[in-house]
Structure 1
Amino acid sequence: MRRMQLKPLAGTARPGVLDAPVRWVAVSELSDPTPYLEGGELLLTTGLRMEGDLSGYVARLVRRGVAGLGFGVGVSHEETPPGLVEAAEADGLPLLEVPREMPFIAIGKAVSELLAAEQYEEISRAFAAQGRLTRAALRQEGVEAVIDRLAKEVGGWAALLDESGEVRHATPGARTEAVAAELSRRRGRPFEPVPAAGEARMPASLALSAPGEHIVVQPLGGGGRPRGFFAVGAEHAFSPVTHTVINAAGSLLTLSMEQGRAQRAAERSLRAAVLELLLAGEEERARAVLGRLGGRLPAAPVVALAAGPEALDALEPVAYAALTGVPDVVALVPEQDAEEVALGAGVPVGVSLPTGYGSLRDALDQARRALEAAGDTRRGPVVKFGELAGQGLLALLDPAAAHAFSTAVLAPLNAYGSRADLVESLRAYLESNGHWDAAAQRLGVHRHTLRYRMRRVAELLGRDLDDPGVRAELWLALEAAGRPRAKRRATPAFRPGSSR
């Protein structure tokens, strides 16, 4: 103001009023220039049309948000009109007197130079902040270091969330609960990755404001499905420079996440290759490959775990896990850690017997068989091969071979027709260890009816049902065919006679 020889006349007593930003300089002699203003301008006039009560003129400028009014004397007025001074003081509008020798264009040039200097300073601050964020991204901590640096740059807090909304890293005071709640509200359900047809997509960013709190949330990753989110918050509103810094942080975080994803993919490929070496009996070569990269295998004896692909992320931090295809995930863990690791996967897992690396292929086969049994609702999500094998020979047989055997053995009974359910009668007979009364009661038929059916079974199969070996084969065939639930019928009014 001193540089441009402007004299304050009114509205400048309030603290900080002269520090208010000026967006531009406008010159107008209109009685109402507000339709041509945006707010934040320093308005210059010589008062050619000013006369009478000027309170309405000042009030319109205040409502428009004009930063200040410069009145040029020596043209239409030798001095600033007293009514203008009074109105400006009453409404708090900064009023400055412009001397005759100060051209309005000179004021415009001075403001333009100051604005350019401010913009240059803002750009310099933004570049400096981006440099600090980039150096943070190169640190070993990676994305966590970027989040910490971002919080300092915005003078508030910052947080990193994964695609499911779980907080991966946050600085003190982070309002992550508010962020997760807002994302959930806008999506209809938490973090839906790809909206259905007709539903609104998650916007490129979210801005949340409340008294004393301003938050910006941005998704990470390109394309439809976010691979995570980051949020920044502060007590003050963010400036354009701060928004530039936030956007730069988003780019660095996305790049770091993509690099981490590529690194994880390479590590997974390496583990799969090492596993192939182990299965081929090349234990020394496998250890050498891992050793050159700073890795190592679990100490023997180990236990093999088999699970679906959804278990990989949970198993990787606590086991030597690799994608194999059949099953999708195989993990090797020390014997003493097997149960804890398997339960922590949160999905069905098959567990082998303890083994050395020389018998790893057999252990993987055991884990696969146990995983198949894990789908049985009668068992828990974790099935140990040792427990499975203790329940009979069926657990030790190849499923395809066992099914083929069952189909061939039971074919005569299945083809007999529907006059009597010979397969279920045979099952009840074998489950009752050949006791006629118990088997007949289970089926809800007379024991003589069951005797007749068993004679037909023996005839159709051409086998002696009293032979223990025949019974064992038939039981194995029935188990391989599946164990449907027996249809319980009402107990007959009569009691069967004596058992066999």
Structure 2
Amino acid sequence: MRISDLVDDVDLNIRLRVPGAEGRLNRPITWCAPTEHMDPTPFLSVNALVLTNGMGLNVRDFRIWDAYVERLVSVPVSGLAFGLGAAHRELPEGLLQACEAHGLPLLELPPEVPFVLVMRHVERIIATERYEELRKGWELADECTRLAADGRSLAEVLGRVADAVNARVAVIDQNAFELVAAGTAHGDTARTRLRLPSGGAEQFRLAIEGIGSDVVLQPVLGPVAAVIGLQLSYTLGSRSPLHSREAARFMEALYADHGEPSQPLRRYALESGFDPGGDWSTVLIGSSEEIAPAKLRAIAWRARVGLQAAFSTVRFMEETGLTTLLLQHRHGTADLLDAVREFFLDAPELSVIVTESANLSELPLTLQLARRQVGRPGVHKAPLADLAGIVQGLPSPGLVALCQRLLAPLASDGGSALRETFDAYLRHSGNSAKICDELFIHRNTLSYRLRKIQELLRLDLTDGEVRATYMLALGVVAAN
């Protein structure tokens, strides 16, 4: 119900004398307030339509009218309807000037139009509009319920809500971090926040930004808030497929696996909702420094909920300081690295590693490789392979025995000093300073040990192929 609706109604015969400032005729009317007080502001609320005969304002001084209108505008009211006949035969000139000066819409009611007729008319239209808003709210909630039941992601459901209110809608947690958002803001800041029903310790809210002033939020979004709250709890809850015992068991098995995928791995993948024969994407979220667990968890939640828009299957496992996301069934060809970066623009201190695997055979190795990369701040793509990954891909018991026999002479003194020195020498490419710093030994001690190693193993350390062979052998023995 707006001021313009009253003016357009021919049955009421209301005359618009002052249109007010730009856009004021489209201001909604929330209720009618008949009053003859010189200062009715203590009894008014925003967007009330003030009805008066001006009985207490039978004055000619413009300053009194100006002060009266200024007080109404400070509320602010939607407009002023002035009834003729009881105290004034025509609108006071001072009132006209004051309404023009302050941009307040002024309506003239003829003597044959009583206040009660206007009030009943406005209340009937407001009641009809409220019923329509409630109906739209329940229809939106019903539609979003069907979307959620069909397996649509939280991002898709939120997108439908954003379309309904023509604004930007976001789910935020108690730390004001956005988990997922949809729509575009058409105004300045968030007009309101609705609390989402949640039975857990985490308190989530629906933030609406840039909404049009003609949209009444509570009737429209009240019912759907419960749907979003339920889907959010399901999406992030410990019993959902995203965070299930089966998914955790599968990922733990992947981290423990060092060879060809076994039947249990394939079975675990199926139980977690994956296709064992498909390709895989993984995102590891850790920290390069001390960070509040609540913040790390909130951002990890935001990433995994947001990635549901690009992947139909998203599972995760949480550890202390690290969250592993496992993704499958991508929609479209968008680059995963670019998509992931969007979720961490406000958290540059986090260490996020992205990697992809062509099949289940590669997945354990690429996961373990990505885990070794966690630590560098920022979002990075893991390399395809490193030495440790290649070594882990060689699980043959015969190879392990062969490597142990190859390095056995280094234990002739009964200790591990020679083997540790050899390992540091190969890893640091013979850099004496780095080797001595790592082992806390003098250069003379290093020279003695290297001579001893060459004598025991009967090898030439200047031969590149020899160094590569023993480096692999050390890796195989260390991995087993």
Query: Could you tell me the TM-score, scaled by structure 1's length?
Result: 0.49
Letter aligned with residue 38 of structure 1? S
Equivalent residue, structure 1, for 2:232: 254
Cα 1:353/1:289, change in 2 over 3 Å: closer
Cα 1:151/1:389, change in 2 over 3 Å: farther
Query: Could you tell me the TM-score, scaled by structure 2's length?
Result: 0.50
Q: Structure 2 residue aligned with 1:118, among 102, 116, 129?
A: 129
Counterparts of 2:193 and 2:52 in 1: how far apart (Å)?
45
Equivalent residue, structure 1, for 2:105: 94
- The structure with the largest alpha-carbon Rg is 1
Counterparts of 1:160 and 1:388 in 2: how far apart (Å)?
55
Equivalent residue, structure 1, for 2:163: 152
Let me know the Cα RMSD of the aligned residues: 5.5
- Give the conservation status (yes or no) of the 8 Å contact 2:78–2:105: yes
Cα 1:62/1:391, change in 2 over 3 Å: farther
- Per-residue CA distance 1:111-136 (angstroms, 9 max, x = gap): 22222122112212222222222222
- Give the conservation status (yes or no) of the 8 Å contact 1:44–1:104: yes
Structure 2 residue 367 is matched with structure 1 residue 341: yes
Structure 2 residue 321 is matched with structure 1 residue 314: no
Equivalent residue, structure 2, for 1:474: 414
Q: Structure 2 residue aligned with 1:268, among 224, 236, 247?
A: 247
**1:78 to partner: Cα distance:** 3.7
Counterparts of 2:138 and 2:131 in 1: how far apart (Å)?
10
**1:157 to partner: Cα distance:** 4.0
**1:269 to partner: Cα distance:** 6.4
Letter aligned with residue 60 of structure 1? Y
- Give the conservation status (yes or no) of the 8 Å contact 1:161–1:230: yes
Q: Structure 2 residue aligned with 1:42, among 39, 44, 49?
A: 49
Letter aligned with residue 28 of structure 1? T
Letter aligned with residue 126 of structure 2? L
What is the SS of the residue equivalent to 1:26? strand
Equivalent residue, structure 2, for 1:12: 19
Letter aligned with residue 10 of structure 1? R
Structure 2 residue 72 is matched with structure 1 residue 64: yes
Counterparts of 1:91 and 1:215 in 2: how far apart (Å)?
25
Equivalent residue, structure 2, for 1:404: none
Q: Which has the higher contact order (CA 8 A, sep 6+)?
A: 2
**1:37 to partner: Cα distance:** 2.5
Equivalent residue, structure 2, for 1:412: none
Q: Structure 2 residue aligned with 1:240, among 190, 193, 217?
A: 217
- Give the conservation status (yes or no) of the 8 Å contact 1:156–1:235: yes
Counterparts of 2:270 and 2:247 in 1: how far apart (Å)?
16
**1:73 to partner: Cα distance:** 2.9
Letter aligned with residue 115 of structure 1? I
Letter aligned with residue 474 of structure 1? G
What is the SS of the residue equivalent to 1:74? coil
Cα 1:58/1:36, change in 2 over 3 Å: farther
**1:100 to partner: Cα distance:** 3.4
Cα 1:35/1:54, change in 2 over 3 Å: farther
Counterparts of 1:387 and 1:158 in 2: how far apart (Å)?
62
- Give the conservation status (yes or no) of the 8 Å contact 1:311–1:347: no
Counterparts of 1:35 and 1:42 in 2: how far apart (Å)?
14
Structure 2 residue 60 is matched with structure 1 residue 52: yes
**1:11 to partner: Cα distance:** 0.7
Counterparts of 2:440 and 2:92 in 1: how far apart (Å)?
106
Equivalent residue, structure 2, for 1:197: none
What is the SS of the residue equivalent to 1:314? strand
- Per-residue CA distance 1:201-242 (angstroms, 9 max, x = gap): xxxxxxxxx96454767898654557x887654364664246
- Give the conservation status (yes or no) of the 8 Å contact 1:314–1:344: no
Counterparts of 1:271 and 1:239 in 2: how far apart (Å)?
47
What is the SS of the residue equivalent to 2:324? helix
Number of aligned residue pairs: give it. 328
